[in-house]
Amino acid sequence: RFPAPDFIVEVLSASTEANDRGVKFDDYAAHGVAEYWLIDPDTQTVEQYRLHTDVYELAIKAQSGELHSFAVPGFTIPVRAIFDDATNQATLRHLLAA
């Protein structure tokens, strides 16, 4: 059996949102996934959850600014980079150069 990942990101859609917020949310917490992000492309919002005593707590719900991963030290990404192609490309170049 493989260990659970430390960090999972899901992109919501009408067909997956209930599962991502329900079964997967509970399953990932039960398996000790330390951090879970839900990306909503319709509202251009990112919800960042952090596992605390086997339950996810909402750390931040953001439409702007930067997200700093709790599970991946040093990983920071502008929220805009998730939704804007030009910012995404610039951020990717920066990450790959580091």
pLDDT digits (tens, 9 = 90+) for 40-53: 999 999 999 999 99
Per the structure, how many domains does the chain have? 1
Return the CATH number at 33.
3.90.1570.10
> Is the Cα dihedral 83, 17, 62, 56 positive or negative?
negative
Per-residue model confidence (pLDDT) at position 98 = 75
* Structural domain boundaries, residue 27: 7-97
Please list the ranges in the chain whose pLDDT falls under 70.
none
pLDDT for the residue numbered 30: 94
**Chain-centre distance for alpha carbon 96:** 19
Q: Which pLDDT value is given to residue 95? A: 87
From the list 40, 44, 47, 49, the residue with the least C-alpha distance to 13 is 40
Which amino acid does the sequence have at 67? L
Domain membership of residue 69 (yes or no) is yes
Tokens of 4: 């659970």
Any idea which residue has 């030009």 for tokens? Answer: 86
Q: Tell me, yes or no, whether 38 lies in a domain.
A: yes
- Is 2 contained in some domain? no
Give pTM, 2 decimals: 0.91
